[in-house]
Amino acid sequence: MDSRPRTTDRNGERISVVVHYVGTVVGWAYNKFLIWKRYDLDDRQRALRYHEEPRPGKISIAPTKAFATADDLSLAYTPGVAEPVREIHRDPETAYRYTNKGNLVAVVTDGSAVLGLGNVGALAGKPVMEGKAVLFKRFADIDVFDIEIDAPSTETFIETVVNIAPTFGAINLEDISAPRCFAIESALRERLNIPVFHDDQHGTSVITSAGLLNALELQGKRLEDVRIVMLGAGAAGLATGRLLCALGVRREHILAVDSKGVLHGGRTDLNIHKQAFVVDTPTRTLAEAMVGADAVIGVSGPGLISEAMVKTMSDRPIVFALANPEPEIRPELVRNARNDAIIATGRSDFPNQVNNSLCFPFVFRGVLDARATEITQQVLIAAVYALAELAKDPVPDDVLKAYQVTSMEFGTDYILPKQFDPRLRERIVPRVIAAVEQSV
């Protein structure tokens, strides 16, 4: 039998495989080029100049009392400073009267999970912590010391924070990798008598939940009925899942997906935190999980959701692609796939930005004013409803001017308030204080 046709077939198959491989690589490289191109080099230089000039960094310390005369000096330092020292020694609670403890938050990191940049180390995380300090001050008039801890172990990190805690009225943990962040927060909450708040967990969960409540209302769906895909089973994803369940989502209706697939009963590689979201399901991949889903919440990485996946979702789907700086799927691709979707991202250059700055300054303002010792789930839920409700109110003219638009109203492109809305503080803080008082 002549074997030449068979050899020709094999050669054709080989050529086809090579062409497919080359096409895949070229497509991947082109996609990466487009992502890089979107972030113009001029923007990079502007960002660096912003942080360098006219003086390095974004924060400074300023005195709050008169300090211009010898008499001022004698009151601010010796001998006058001895009087509040004696009072605080006699009654530690008076530190809230005579020092800035009641308005001072520590923003603490080890730099192990900074934004979308990963484990860059404590020092490289400092610009982000300074940025948090600016947001605290600008939105809630809270003072911040940023604390970057180069700790060799979880235990060392915990002990460091415990040892410096007397200085502060509250602790904001930031950009700490999972599952380490869970152990750190749990230990600090148990050992300290001031609020401890991991913003990557709870700030994200509050904003995401508020946005989802409003998106579901617009899509005509009920919280207790919806099926949700949680793409990302780290700090943000698991905390958001827990809060959504507290709000009324059925746990068995959440399919959590990590880098190895769905968290299902056959997995033996899951830590105790992920095990809480294990479901009995034959579903194994993200693509399978997306079929018929009402919502997908991405807190993972760029480009993980395809148009084909979005097409398989239920009618009137909700797509929260929150990875920064590049989302799991870009809004225009969602629109290509579905014209009935509500879309949110973590970016300010698209509608419906899900950003923690809508939450954490005001939650901290409330718990500091209420002299709370912890931030409870009731506090988080109060913040969720305050945010969701504010988005339905008419938007003031000064907010429209700040964003250079002529109108904003509750709808598919406006499901959350904007960061510069002055009503955020007046709406969220009283609800937080009330939740603290009810929890006592």
Catalytic site residues?
77, 132
Tell me if 256 sits within 8 A of 274, measured CB to CB: yes
Distance (Å, whole) CA 56 – CA 48 = 10
DSSP assignment of 342-395 equals EEEES-TTSSSB--GGGTHHHHHHHHHHTT-SS--HHHHHHHHHHHHHHTTSPP
- Please name the residue that has the structure tokens 């937080």: 432
Distance (Å, whole) CA 171 – CA 107 = 6
Distance (Å, whole) CA 379 – CA 188 = 18
Torsion angles phi and psi, residue 104, rounded to 5: -125, 125
Give per-residue burial for 285-313: e unless 16+ CB within 10 Å, then b.
ebebbbeebbbbbbbbebbbbbeebbebb
How many Cα atoms occupy the beta-carbon half-sphere of 427 within 13 Å?
18
- Please name the residue that has the structure tokens 């305050």: 386
Tell me if 212 sits within 8 A of 393, measured CB to CB: no
Beta-carbon contacts of residue 394 (< 8 Å; ≥ 6 apart): 409
Count of C-beta atoms within a 10 Å radius of residue 167: 14
Instruction: Determine the 3-state secondary structure of 262 from DSSP.
Output: strand
Task: Give the residue among 204, 206, 253 at the shortest CA–CA distance from 232.
Answer: 204
Beta-carbon contacts of residue 336 (< 8 Å; ≥ 6 apart): 307
Distance (Å, whole) CA 32 – CA 48 = 23
In this structure, the chain runs to a length of: 440
Beta-carbon contacts of residue 55 (< 8 Å; ≥ 6 apart): none
